[in-house]
Structure formats: C-alpha cells, structure tokens
Amino acid sequence: MSKEQKSLNVTITYGELKAEFSGDPQYVLASINEFLAKHIPTIELASKVTINYSLNDLIGMFGDYVKITPEGPRVWMGEQKLSDKGILGLQLVAAKINHESGKVALPSLTLAEMRSATGLNPKSISSRMSEMLKWGYVDKETSEEGVRYRITTQGIHWLNQMLMKKVGKS
C-alpha cells in the first residue's frame, strides 16, 4: 500500500491581486504568509487597532451572566448584585447574542422589552440608557416599533471590564 501525497490548493483574491498556491500544507502556509506580508502590510497594523466581538467572544465573555431562554434573552446573575447599568448592558449583550445566533432579526431592544426582561423601573431604564448613550456604550435607532437600543463595541468592552473588576473583588 503506497502513501498518497496530499496537496493543498489555495486561491487568494484581494482587489485586483490573485494568487494561487498548491503543494504540501507547510509550503502553502509559508507562501500565503509571504504573499500577505508583501502585498497587504497594513493587515498587521490594522489588526492592532481593530476590534469586533464575534458570537464566540460574546459567549466566552458573558456566558455566565446571560442565557437565551424560550422566553427570550435574559440576564442570569444568581446571587450577584449589579447596578442597573450593568443589568441593562447585559440584557443588550444577551439581545446581541440572540441576534448573532440567528434567533431574531434585530440585535436591539425597546425600553418596554428591557423593562419586561429585567423588571427594572421604566424611569431608571430611560435614565440609564441616556447615560450609556452619552458615554457611547449604546446606540439608539428608530424603527416601526419606536426607539430601540443596542450595545456598542465600546459598551461591550466597558461591561466586560466592569464584570472582571466585580468578580475580582468578590
């Protein structure tokens, strides 16, 4: 029985550039890296200043605090206490996770949906959303259903940092 040599074939298209590589996986990987370094030197620089949380990132960061239930996304804190801003931020992260996983069309919530999900006072929700909007932690959009709020990338970062500090203290 002879050992069959496997060949990896990869085609890369970047704008007008097109490159094809084939051969053993090590050679192809080295060739791809060389191509990218030569033709797209800003990728490394851009990756140092670019942030975009994937569904896996969000679940890894917030999976202990939010759950997707048959009733919808929910904050799941157990005995831990959080500020209203923290609870609302987590509720918006849960909505984003619910959206990213393909369960709903929008990653945002109305004030009424937040009240229903969290049980917080409507005045408190409105005040906290105004503060978080001012700080860039949430975005506000108008839809047929009224005003909707969604967590921003900066808001995700803030919430993660806040939770990490809280866990460190307990």
pLDDT at 2: 46
Domain ranges of the chain: 8-49, 55-169
Q: Quote the mean pLDDT of the chain.
A: 88
Between CA 101 and CA 79 the distance in angstroms is 27
Class of domain 55-169 (CATH, top level)? mainly alpha
User: pLDDT 10s per residue in the chain (170 long)?
Assistant: 445 668 889 998 877 778 899 998 888 888 888 887 777 766 666 667 778 889 999 999 999 999 998 988 999 887 788 999 999 999 999 999 999 998 899 999 999 999 999 999 999 999 999 999 999 999 999 978 789 999 999 999 999 999 998 876 54
**Do residues 21 and 31 make contact, with C-beta atoms less than 8 angstroms apart?**
yes
> pLDDT by residue (tens digit) across 102-143?
889 999 999 999 999 999 999 999 999 999 999 999 999 997
Please tell me the number of Cα atoms within 13 Å of 117 on its side-chain side: 29
Cβ contacts of residue 15 below 8 Å, gap of 6+?
A: none
pLDDT at 145: 75
The strand pairing partners of 10, in sequence order, are 21
Instruction: Quote the percentage of the chain above a pLDDT of 70.
Output: 91
**Do residues 75 and 65 make contact, with C-beta atoms less than 8 angstroms apart?**
yes
Tokens representing residue 118 in the block: 């969290």
Between CA 129 and CA 11 the distance in angstroms is 47
Query: What is the CB neighbour count within 10 angstroms for residue 8?
Result: 14
The strand pairing partners of 14, in sequence order, are 17
CA separation, residue 27 to residues 34, 43, 69 (Å): 11, 21, 47
pLDDT at 4: 60
pLDDT at 159: 97
Strands 109-110 and 146-151: antiparallel
Distance from the first to the final alpha carbon of the chain = 62
**Do residues 151 and 134 make contact, with C-beta atoms less than 8 angstroms apart?**
no
Query: What is the CB neighbour count within 10 angstroms for residue 91?
Result: 24
